[in-house]
Amino acid sequence: MCTSIAMKTQDFYFGRTMDFEYNFNESVVFTPRNYPLPFRRTDILDKHYAILGMATVVEGYPLYADAVNEAGLCIAGLNFPDTAYYPSSEDSNSKNISPFELIFWILGKCASVTEAKALLATTHLVSIPFSESLPLAPLHWHLADRESSIVLESTKKGMEIYDNPVGVLTNNPGFNFQTTNLCQYMNLVSNSPKNCFSSISSLVPFGQGLGCVGLPGDYSPASRFVKAAYLCLNSICEKDEMGSISQFFHILDSVSMPRGCVVTPENLYDITTYSCCMNATKGIYYYKTYSNSQLTAVDMHRENLDSELLRTYPLTVSQQIAWAN
């Protein structure tokens, strides 16, 4: 369960909520240009774009959940259970890439969504787990830059790429359903509604926000998609950095999950373990965790982009309080 959004003000911003029953030992990880990126079925990338995002590092390999590269291209992988499908057979006419390698494959080589589309045209996703103890997660992916946004889904029908003018992605059902489902909410307005019910003159709005009656508020993927899309497309904020990231996190907070409100069949609690916002223009990664609502940031341009060493920043998970006295 996750929600990702893209937003453009003065700069371009991209981020997501990570909604899960447990943490996966994640941290903010910076991969510099000269850190070698190995692949199981194709050549190693010795030189590539620098990458910053949230990852679990296993045997020196950053398994990114979401990231941005120095060119401003962003990707997030979101849960897509029972629908995602990765074929076991390889394609001799394509580059065979495992899903766990996909974020590296795209961000290491591509500066834009346009370049990513071209690369994906010659890419074949193949079912190769990282290890026996780390099977592949069922995912679909949200890719975005300042100019455009797409969704990549690998199902039994094959690998499909969808343009995403809404700039939002959640989970099941697939992206085609989610965008079609928006048609049910075309009546929503941010202003007070007009009386279309009848000619009875006494029907007037009795409070603010009545134009949004019917906007979903539950935690299902379809409802989170509609709510996040409405907020992204209608909310207004200051265009500077502080105004933009504040607005971005307000939107993510509207679809975040408090502990106890979503219980899995295994009797575990789905919670928003972290929320993040990347300023893709400046290469800054902001995040907050479930237990720490204060923002923490990592700036890739304060790092040595040409280094050969991975940099890892453990999450700040304890609540930080700015005392006023």
For the annotated catalytic residues, the residue numbers are 2
C-alpha span between 228 and 164 (Å, rounded): 14
The full DSSP string for 160-219 is EEEE-TT-EE-SSS-HHHHHHHGGGGTT--SSPPP--S-S-TT----STTGGGTT---S-
Helix (H, G, I), strand (E, B) or coil at 256: coil
C-alpha span between 185 and 212 (Å, rounded): 9
Sequence-separated contacts (24+) of 259-266 with Cβ below 8 Å: 259/290, 261/219, 262/1, 262/19, 262/219, 264/21, 266/21
Q: Let me know: does 193 contact 211? Beta carbons within 8 Å.
A: yes
- Nearest alpha-carbon partner for 283 in 33, 115, 44: 33
What b/e string do you get for 168-199 counting C-beta neighbours within 10 Å, with b at 16 or more? Answer: bbbbbebbeebbebbeeeeebeeeebeeeeee
Q: Which amino acid would we find at residue 166?
A: V
The verdict on whether omega for the bond into residue 173 sits within 30 degrees of 0, i.e. cis, is: yes
C-alpha span between 211 and 259 (Å, rounded): 30
Helix (H, G, I), strand (E, B) or coil at 262: coil
| Residue pointed to by tokens 């969704």 | 151
C-alpha span between 97 and 41 (Å, rounded): 7
